[in-house]
Amino acid sequence: ASVFQSHEEDDRKVRRREKNRVAAQRSRKKQTQKADKLHEEYESLEQENTSLKREIGKLTDEMKHLSEVLKDHEKICPLLHCTMNFVTIPRPDALAGCLPR
């Protein structure tokens, strides 16, 4: 009976080892897939970040340009001499003098 018992125990050990091996393999595969997915997300975010930085640069340049244009316009705009009047009591005739016809 003891020979039969030890053979049965050996079988059980072999099956348990195989089961553990398969489970470990599955776990490694899952971890690898998770790491791959995170890496893809990271790459995507890096590209988006680069794109947004480029866009911010363009918008900053445009803002600088428009600020310069505004400064140049302020020097020659007749409305700015009476800005306070214009702001408190809007005068369409004063505004019309500054608009193209």
pLDDT in tens, 17-48: 999 999 999 999 999 999 999 999 999 999 99
93 domain-assigned: no
Query: pTM of the entire structure?
Result: 0.53
SS3 91: coil
42 domain-assigned: yes
* Sequence-separated (6 or more) residues with CB below 8 Å from residue 74: 80
What is the rounded CA–CA span in Å between residue 28 and residue 67?
57
2 domain-assigned: yes
22 domain-assigned: yes
46 domain-assigned: yes
Q: Which two tokens stand for residue 33?
A: 């897939």
Domain hosting 43: range is: 1-80
Number of domains in the chain: 1
The DSSP element (H or E) to which 97 belongs, if any, is helix 92-98
